[in-house]
Structure 1
Amino acid sequence: MNDVSTTATPARTPEAVTREIREFLAGRVKQDVPVDQDLFRTGLVSSMFAMELVVFLEQTYGIAIVGPDLKLDNFRTVEGMTSLVGRLLDE
Structure 2
Amino acid sequence: MEIKQKIRSFIESNLVVFEDEAVFTDDDHIFQKGFVNSLFAMKLLSYIEQEFGFTVSNEDLDIANFSTLNNIVKLIEKHKQEA
The alignment's TM-score, normalised by the length of structure 1, stands at: 0.77
Report if the CA contact (8 A) 2:64-2:71 is conserved.
Answer: yes
Instruction: Give the partner amino acid of 1:59.
Output: Q
Number of residue pairs aligned between Structure 1 and Structure 2: 77
Gaps of 5+ in 2: none
Instruction: Give the partner amino acid of 1:83.
Output: K
Are residue 48 (structure 1) and residue 39 (structure 2) matched?
A: yes
Instruction: Please identify the structure whose Cα radius of gyration is greater.
Output: 1
Shift of 1:48: 2.0
Aligned to 1:87: 78
**Which of 60, 74, 79 is the aligned partner of 2:65?**
74
Report if the CA contact (8 A) 1:74-1:80 is conserved.
Answer: yes
The alignment's TM-score, normalised by the length of structure 2, stands at: 0.84
Report if the CA contact (8 A) 1:37-1:78 is conserved.
Answer: yes
Instruction: Give the partner amino acid of 2:4.
Output: T
Identity of aligned residues (%): 29
